[in-house]
Amino acid sequence: MQTLTLPRPDDWHLHLRDGAMLTGIAAETARHFARAIIMPNLVPPVVTGAEAQAYRDRILAVTGSGFTPLMTLYLTEATDPADVVAAHRAGIITAVKLYPAGATTNSASGVRDFDRVRGVLEAMAQAGIPLLTHGEVTDPEIDIFDREAVFIDRVLDPIRRTTPGLRVVMEHITTSDAVAYVQSQPDDLGATITTHHLVINRNHILVGGIKPHYYCLPVAKRETHRQALLAAATSGDARFFLGTDSAPHADDAKESACGCAGCFTATNTMSILAQVFEAAGALDKLEGFSSRNGPAFYRLPVNDATLTLEKSDTPVSYPSKIDTGAGPVTVFDPGFPLYWRVL
């Protein structure tokens, strides 16, 4: 029996939601991951240090202390730089999240005019607080498949040039353009890659009928982009690390005439990744991607605890849905059987 033991992985981009959904899904992550960067796009969003602290307490009440939620603030044009710096200094927050207004789920309170957050970004650069970006422009003229590449040119690169020292994570990258941009920059820039973007391309969403459970933002691109993401994730380059962007929505909100964006992958992420990395001939690179590169970027220790995966001869079973008090949530289906089981 083949086994693989890793330092316990972390998830550097995760949606846990709140209330009944949080209660129903938090264990799916806490079972395998030691820490996660918790996205702040609740309704209403997590914008102050006090709100982040209260949200952290609600998460810990569900997970218990074996899991460490690393909190983020949702950047708005009214964000107070002093509050951000104080929350960071007090150990309440790890990073700040930039959503262009209207770019994705619950982003209406995000940023419209990037000049209006310059003061916050400068304070973050000085204090060493990373900025996490949902990297898509919202200009209706720009095709949805081009929105990430245009964001890099029009928004991200100008922000980084005018804010020296600002550490940035490009979240959930989906294009070869983003991979190339990270590779061209110094190591104050990192990027998370999701599990699902290593598995699906846009055909999975659209061929043979529309598949709402494969719809997320940024939307999956053509196959050449998936291959670029896979090459980056398996390259050993420490600037690329796992952020699942596991984003639960109740099935009735996904299977709708206007379905929500988000794939829920917490349950089977580690099994899928082991399989994908093995198929790419890079099983030895999984440890860096899921357990070492993220802590290195965030200047945190690698976890002492471990996680062991075992390869079976027969496919492992996992639930197709998680029942939550907020309704059932469909678990991402990679479209192939999984043989790696987390022990």
Ligand X SMILES: NC(=O)N[C@@H](CC(=O)O)C(=O)O
What residue is closest to Zn ion based on CB? 134
Least Å from the CB of residue 131 to Zn ion: 13
What does R_g of the chain's alpha carbons equal in angstroms? Answer: 19
Structure tokens at 10: 């972390």
Burial category of 269 from C-beta neighbours within 10 Å (exposed 0-12, middle 13-18, buried 19 and up):
buried
Closest C-alpha among 97, 119, 123 to residue 109: 97
Q: Look at strands 327-330 and 321-324 and give their pairing.
A: antiparallel
Q: Tell whether the torsion through CA atoms of 258, 262, 268 and 271 is positive or negative.
A: positive
- Of residues 205 and 280, the one with the C-beta less far from ligand X: 205
Name 302's Cβ contacts closer than 8 Å, sequence gap at least 6.
7, 291, 292, 295
**Would the annotation count 13 as a binding residue?**
yes
Residue with smaller CB distance to ligand X, 217 or 307: 217
Rule CB under 5 A: which residues touch Zn ion? 104, 134, 245
Q: Is 250 in the site for ligand X (CB under 6 A)?
A: no
SS (H, E, C) 252-283: HHHCCCCCCCCCCCCCCHHHHHHHHHHHCCCH
Among residues 149, 155, 173, 217, the one that binds ligand X under rule CB under 6 A:
217
| 333 carries an active-site annotation | no
3 state SS of 85:
helix
16 is in an annotated binding site: yes
Q: Which is nearer to ligand X, 106 or 303 (CB)?
A: 106
Which residue of the set 80, 245, 284, 313 is catalytic? 245
CB 319 within 8 A of CB 291: no
Among the listed residues 191, 247, 270, 273, the single contact to ligand X using CB under 6 A: 247
Please state the closest distance from residue 217 (CB atom) to ligand X, in A. Answer: 4
Residue 134 binds ligand X (CB under 6 A)? yes
User: 92-131: which residues touch ligand X (CB under 6 A)?
Assistant: 104-105
Binding mask 14-43 for ligand X (x = CB under 6 A): -x-------------------------x--
CB 171 to ligand X: min, Å: 7
Which contiguous run of DSSP H or E holds residue 64?
none
User: CA-CA distance, 158 to 155, in Å (whole number)?
Assistant: 6
Is 41 annotated in some ligand binding site? yes
C-alpha 244 chain-centroid distance: 5
Comparing CB distances to ligand X, the nearer of 4 and 14 is 14
Say whether 172 counts as a known binding-site residue. yes
Closer CB to ligand X, 214 or 340, in the complex = 214
Residues forming contacts to ligand X in the complex (CB under 6 A) are 15, 41, 104-105, 134, 216-217, 245, 247, 261-262
* Catalytic site positions: 245
Binding residues, by number, are 13, 15-17, 41, 97, 134, 172, 217, 245, 249, 261
